[in-house]
């Protein structure tokens, strides 16, 4: 099994495998960043891609329709992960992305990009749902938080790649670059093992033990996890119908927490900034170059993701999430203040010239250093093996639905009530979400999946005794 990595320690092996899996999220980041430079190109009146520039409504559809594909994909993902497996499902996610950029390249009208984005969104939906699940099952409890943040690091790296090259390439070259990167990043995934939990669940006990032995630091750790798998042996995966039984109320409560985390992450307004970034910077009419500012923001986003990876297993999930949401609020309030102050003036200079960039940097850093890095890994941690696929479905779908509504309505909302009040609205939402995190989100730092289930009331404390023997 991966003999080339045998000379490394178990933690390093886990990092290598999870990094390779997260290459799938690198290409998802390309898709998120793609809209920022491409929308500007499609709306360019001097050099339009189509016969005429696209309208604001058409731009909103191109940005948001990918999320429809993501929602659909999550219905499929809940089935795929427990039948096809985590690894093969991640590999499968590359196909719709390649189709997406190929169709965008040959696009001659906005509707073709609508279709491309919907299809590409299915690949993103699969990755967002399955990669955090795979990483949580590969990782030891000591570094599960750090490995979970690889999700945001690679997504940010994909966004940064697009923000760095997209503004300086023509529309067609951008899509060719995306096709090539999708193909190249998929190949290394062929060498990684499947999740040991999935292997054990499928009856491949020996292979599951071999994978765990390769990944864990001691025999006792292997025994501990195998015992957890054995506790779930013969238990079928939870269905939608079972979820709503009275006996499963604790799990239904966790689903509610996951959905609130997903929706809360979007009512902060972050993705409205991320997907319309270059257009927002253009609208500020400051002397700061939108293209250069986009790259700076992409670098900040990536650095923030690395920052979280270094501190998550030291400080825990709740403190980082809480601080993150307050930071996003500060950034949104700063943006709102800029647009309110400059709404009656065409001249922007002095401090006001840099306030939009500073505010966006604060919001982006705060999101990437906390909420963006922890959201999906935390949702994956909250559920046991039996309910994890279903739990991730609800969590990820809530994110995609909320993001779709946000991006589709963002331009109309800003036109209706003004940019200032729109960003202030997001800032207030952040404060409401902060209260929810403090009151309802559990701390999972340093706990095994069995211990987390005891904490959440899904299992009685006695059910963990067998694990504690090892």
Q: How far is it, in rounded angstroms, from Cα 121 to Cα 400?
A: 10
- Dihedral of alpha carbons 18, 20, 24, 29, sign: positive
The 10 Å Cβ neighbour count of residue 2 is 15
DSSP-assigned states of every residue in 334-368: HHHHHHHHTTT-S---THHHHHHHHHHHHHHHHII
Residue 470's pLDDT is: 26
Q: How far is it, in rounded angstroms, from Cα 286 to Cα 174?
A: 27
Q: How far is it, in rounded angstroms, from Cα 334 to Cα 410?
A: 18
Burial category of 342 from C-beta neighbours within 10 Å (exposed 0-12, middle 13-18, buried 19 and up): buried
Contacts of residue 258, defined as CB under 8 A and 6 or more positions apart, other chains included, come to: 379, 382, 383, 391, 394, 395, 398
Contacts of residue 185, defined as CB under 8 A and 6 or more positions apart, other chains included, come to: 23, 24, 26, 27, 94
Residue 233's pLDDT is: 67
Q: How far is it, in rounded angstroms, from Cα 310 to Cα 396?
A: 25
Q: Which residue has the tokens 């096709």?
A: 179
Residue 465's pLDDT is: 47
The answer to whether 86 touches 198, Cβ cutoff 8 Å, is: yes
Alpha-carbon radius of gyration of the chain: 22
CA 201 to chain centre: 26
Which candidate, 4, 147, 133, 87, places its Cα nearest to that of 391?
A: 133
Strand extents, DSSP E, 236-280: none
Residue 275's pLDDT is: 64
For residue 42, the number of C-alpha atoms closer than 13 Å in the C-beta half-sphere is: 29
Q: How far is it, in rounded angstroms, from Cα 356 to Cα 282?
A: 11
pLDDT 10s digit of each residue in the chain, 470 long?
Answer: 556 666 678 888 899 999 999 999 999 999 888 988 898 899 888 888 888 899 888 988 888 888 788 888 877 887 788 788 899 999 999 999 999 999 999 999 999 999 999 999 999 888 988 898 898 888 887 787 788 778 878 988 998 899 889 888 999 999 999 999 999 999 999 999 999 988 888 888 899 889 888 888 788 888 888 887 887 665 566 777 777 776 678 888 899 999 999 999 999 998 877 766 766 777 666 666 767 777 887 788 788 878 877 777 777 789 999 999 999 999 999 989 988 887 766 666 667 778 888 888 899 889 988 888 888 888 888 887 778 878 888 888 898 889 888 878 888 888 899 989 999 999 999 999 999 999 999 888 878 778 888 888 777 765 454 433 32
The model carries a pTM of: 0.73
- How distant, in Å, are the alpha carbons of 11, 147, 216, 364 from that of 142? 9, 10, 11, 28
- The domains of the chain, with CATH numbers, are 3-468 (1.20.1250.20)
Q: How far is it, in rounded angstroms, from Cα 49 to Cα 209?
A: 54
Which candidate, 80, 98, 76, places its Cα nearest to that of 89?
A: 80
**Helix 419-440, helix 317-341: angle, nearest 10:** 170
Residue 450's pLDDT is: 80
Residue 438 phi, psi dihedral angles, 5° rounding: -60, -40
The answer to whether 442 touches 382, Cβ cutoff 8 Å, is: yes
Residue 380's pLDDT is: 81
Q: How far is it, in rounded angstroms, from Cα 335 to Cα 341?
A: 10
Contacts of residue 79, defined as CB under 8 A and 6 or more positions apart, other chains included, come to: none
The answer to whether 172 touches 420, Cβ cutoff 8 Å, is: no
């Amino acid at each position: 099994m991966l003999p080339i990595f045998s000379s490394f320690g178990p933690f390093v092996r886990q990092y290598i495998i999870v990094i390779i899996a997260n290459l799938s999220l690198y290409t998802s980041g390309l898709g998120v960043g793609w809209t920022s430079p491409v929308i500007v190109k499609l709306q360019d009146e001097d050099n339009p891609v189509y016969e005429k520039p696209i309208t604001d409504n058409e731009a909103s559809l191109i940005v948001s329709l990918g999320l429809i594909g993501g929602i659909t994909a999550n219905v499929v993902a809940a089935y795929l992960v427990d039948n096809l497996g985590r690894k093969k499902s991640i590999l499968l996610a590359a196909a719709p992305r390649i189709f997406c950029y190929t169709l965008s390249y040959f696009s001659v009208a906005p509707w073709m990009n609508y279709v491309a984005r919907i299809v590409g969104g299915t690949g993103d939906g699969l990755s967002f749902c399955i990669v955090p699940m795979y990483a949580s099952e590969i990782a030891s409890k000591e570094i599960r938080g750090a490995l979970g943040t690889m999700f945001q690091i690679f997504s940010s790296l994909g966004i940064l790649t697009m923000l760095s090259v997209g503004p300086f390439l023509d529309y067609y070259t951008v899509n060719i670059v995306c096709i090539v990167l999708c193909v190249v990043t998929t190949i290394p995934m062929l060498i990684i093992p499947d999740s040991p939990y999935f292997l054990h669940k499928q009856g491949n006990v020996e292979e599951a033990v071999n994978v765990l032995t390769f990944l864990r630091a001691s025999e006792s750790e292997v025994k501990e996890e195998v015992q957890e798998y054995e506790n779930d042996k013969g238990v079928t995966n939870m269905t939608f119908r079972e979820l709503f039984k009275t006996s499963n109320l604790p799990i239904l409560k966790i689903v509610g927490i996951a959905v609130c985390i997903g929706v809360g992450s979007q009512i902060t307004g972050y993705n409205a900034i991320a997907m319309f970034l270059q257009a927002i910077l253009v609208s500020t009419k400051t002397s700061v170059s939108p293209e250069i500012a986009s790259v700076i923001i992409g670098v900040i986003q990536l650095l923030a993701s690395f920052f979280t990876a270094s501190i998550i297993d030291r400080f825990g999930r709740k403190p980082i999430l809480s601080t993150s949401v307050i930071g996003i609020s500060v950034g949104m309030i700063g943006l709102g203040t800029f647009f309110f102050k400059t709404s009656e003036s065409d001249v922007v200079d002095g401090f006001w010239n840099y306030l939009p960039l500073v505010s966006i940097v604060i919001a982006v850093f705060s999101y990437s250093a906390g909420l963006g890095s922890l959201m999906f890994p935390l949702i994956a941690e909250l559920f046991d093996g039996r309910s994890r696929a279903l739990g991730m479905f609800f969590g990820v779908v809530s994110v995609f639905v909320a993001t779709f509504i946000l991006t589709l309505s963002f331009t109309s909302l800003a036109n209706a009530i003004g940019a200032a009040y729109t960003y202030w609205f997001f800032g207030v939402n952040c404060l409401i979400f902060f209260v929810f995190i403090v009151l309802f989100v559990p701390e999972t730092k340093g706990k095994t999946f069995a211990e987390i289930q005891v904490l959440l009331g899904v299992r009685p404390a006695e059910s963990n005794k067998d694990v504690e023997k090892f």
